[in-house]
């Protein structure tokens, strides 16, 4: 499966897939005769694991550590089983509440009530693979038990099952948005973060607006994803917070992408460049390198000028990154912005150079 097809099926951007490849987190198991990345089934399973772990708030280095350590002491696992038993008992109480709601809703026919009960029981199965099969069988159907699916998504501890639930909810449109938005205020950190993951997967204007409203949340994970949602909605006031994400190295790849999309007009582009320049002025070298890399996504002469200054940075990595990006800058159109074709051609190569050399061999895909 080529990178474009993987992106379309999983919702993970091609840029993020290439980043996973560059840092060695998920490297395609094959190459086509023309040198393009080719993903095999084991790569897709690893992608599921990566996205599931990230939805729980783990950083990319933490995800890599977890996936690399397949040996474990039994004591922590026993503790996890105890905790899961407690969670299962809590889910039984929640199931009772859901059944009570089914009764109070007055189903029009026994078939409706039985279908709802069957769905609830299936979502409570002890075997994660059984839960996943049930959800995948529902994916693509609209109007199918949105309430139970939403609650299941908010409490599902298994990454693969959670990912299937998020995608199933996304196929339901905005039906789950209100309940997910309410979960952002939960005192349970895992519940909040699963709500974030589901809203981000739905990614409709209404879902992104609900997520953006959580900006400033005391949970750094929720706050960062809310900032990304603000930017995705075109809120230029989110630029300083997006730049801070890049500088801090939290969701920096996504934040750079959003900054690039915001900077499609001369006004916002200049503001983004000024914000990056101000952040870089007193930032440590590694943060300056990330901020320099973010300029790859920004069109216009202001970004060229900023890169020219950074090419003389005393930190060698920063200077080399800025120099590489300057050489890769696309040709400009009459309005001073890069032509669409030139921008598309240059963007991936520029960002790849900014992040350093990848594995040997062709990097097309």
Q: What digits encode the pLDDT tens for the residues 326-358? A: 998 865 544 444 443 444 444 454 445 445 444
Does the pLDDT value for residue 63 go beyond 60?
A: yes
Residue 36: per-residue pLDDT:
80
User: What is the number of domains present in the chain?
Assistant: 3
- Show which of 157, 186, 214 is a domain's final residue: 214
Per-residue pLDDT band for 111 (boundaries 50, 70, 90) equals: low
Looking up tokens 């690039």, which residue turns up? Answer: 260
75 in a structural domain: no
Does the pLDDT value for residue 275 go beyond 90?
A: yes
Based on the fold, state whether residues 94 and 63 are members of the same structural domain: no
Cα–Cα distance between 317 and 354 in angstroms, integer? 9
Residue 342: per-residue pLDDT:
43
Based on the fold, state whether residues 204 and 254 are members of the same structural domain: no
Based on the fold, state whether residues 35 and 87 are members of the same structural domain: no
Based on the fold, state whether residues 201 and 292 are members of the same structural domain: no
Per-residue pLDDT band for 105 (boundaries 50, 70, 90) equals: very low
Range of the domain at 23: 3-68
Give the model confidence (pLDDT) of 291-314 as tens digits.
999 999 898 899 999 999 999 999
Residue 58: per-residue pLDDT:
62
Based on the fold, state whether residues 136 and 183 are members of the same structural domain: yes
Based on the fold, state whether residues 62 and 89 are members of the same structural domain: no
Q: Which residues contact 169 (CB under 8 A, 6 or more apart)?
A: 146, 149, 150, 153, 175, 176, 180, 198, 201, 202
Global pTM value: 0.61
Based on the fold, state whether residues 56 and 140 are members of the same structural domain: no
Cα–Cα distance between 199 and 77 in angstroms, integer? 30
Percentage of the chain beyond pLDDT 90 is: 40
Does the pLDDT value for residue 362 go beyond 80?
A: no
Residue 324: per-residue pLDDT:
94
Give the model confidence (pLDDT) of 6-52 as tens digits.
888 888 899 999 998 888 888 888 788 777 888 888 888 888 888 87
243 in a structural domain: yes
Average pLDDT of the segment spanning 215-228: 96
Per-residue pLDDT band for 86 (boundaries 50, 70, 90) equals: confident
Based on the fold, state whether residues 103 and 161 are members of the same structural domain: yes
228 contacts 239 by C-beta, under 8 angstroms: no
Based on the fold, state whether residues 200 and 308 are members of the same structural domain: no
Does the pLDDT value for residue 178 go beyond 70?
A: yes
C-alpha neighbours within 13 Å on the C-beta side of residue 106: 0
The stretches of 23-145 forming alpha helices (DSSP H) are 41-55, 60-68, 74-105, 110-123, 128-138
Based on the fold, state whether residues 86 and 62 are members of the same structural domain: no
Average pLDDT of the segment spanning 222-249: 95
Closest CA to 211 of 261, 273, 258, 155: 258
Q: Which residues contact 7 (CB under 8 A, 6 or more apart)?
A: 13, 14, 17
Q: What is the mean pLDDT of the chain?
A: 81
Based on the fold, state whether residues 160 and 240 are members of the same structural domain: no
Does the pLDDT value for residue 169 go beyond 50?
A: yes
226 in a structural domain: no
336 in a structural domain: yes
364 in a structural domain: no
363 in a structural domain: no
Residue 92: per-residue pLDDT:
84
């Amino acid at each position: 499966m080529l990178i474009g097809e993987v992106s379309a099926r999983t919702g993970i951007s091609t840029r993020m897939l290439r980043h996973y490849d560059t840092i060695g987190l998920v490297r395609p198991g094959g190459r086509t005769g023309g040198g393009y990345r080719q993903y095999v089934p084991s790569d897709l399973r690893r992608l599921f694991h990566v996205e599931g772990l990230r939805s729980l708030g783990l950083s990319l280095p933490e995800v890599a550590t977890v996936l690399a350590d397949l040996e474990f002491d039994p004591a922590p696992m026993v503790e996890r089983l105890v905790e899961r038993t407690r969670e299962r008992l809590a889910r039984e109480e929640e199931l009772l509440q859901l059944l009570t709601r089914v009764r109070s809703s007055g189903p029009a026919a026994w078939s409706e009530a039985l279908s709802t009960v069957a769905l609830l029981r299936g979502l409570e199965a002890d075997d994660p693979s059984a839960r996943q099969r049930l959800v995948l069988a529902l994916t693509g159907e609209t109007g199918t038990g949105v309430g139970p699916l939403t609650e299941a998504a908010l409490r599902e501890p298994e990454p693969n099952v959670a990912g299937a639930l998020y995608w199933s909810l996304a196929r339901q449109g905005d039906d789950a948005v209100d309940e997910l938005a309410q979960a952002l205020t939960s005192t349970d950190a895992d519940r909040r973060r699963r709500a974030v993951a589901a809203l981000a997967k739905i990614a409709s204007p209404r879902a992104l607006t609900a997520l953006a409203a959580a900006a400033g949340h005391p949970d750094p994970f929720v706050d960062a994803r809310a900032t990304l949602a603000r930017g995705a909605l075109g809120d230029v006031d989110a630029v300083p917070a997006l730049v801070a994400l890049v500088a801090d190295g939290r969701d920096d790849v996504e934040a750079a992408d959003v900054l690039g999309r915001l900077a499609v007009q001369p006004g916002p582009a200049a503001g983004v460049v000024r914000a990056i320049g101000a952040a870089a002025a007193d930032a440590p070298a590694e943060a300056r390198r990330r901020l320099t890399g973010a300029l790859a996504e920004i069109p216009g002469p202001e970004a060229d000028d900023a890169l020219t200054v950074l090419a003389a940075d005393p930190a060698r990595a920063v200077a080399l990154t800025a120099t590489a990006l300057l050489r890769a800058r696309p040709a400009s159109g009459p309005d001073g912005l890069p032509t669409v074709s030139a921008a598309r051609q240059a963007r991936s190569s520029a960002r790849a150079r900014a992040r350093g050399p990848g594995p040997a061999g062709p990097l097309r895909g």
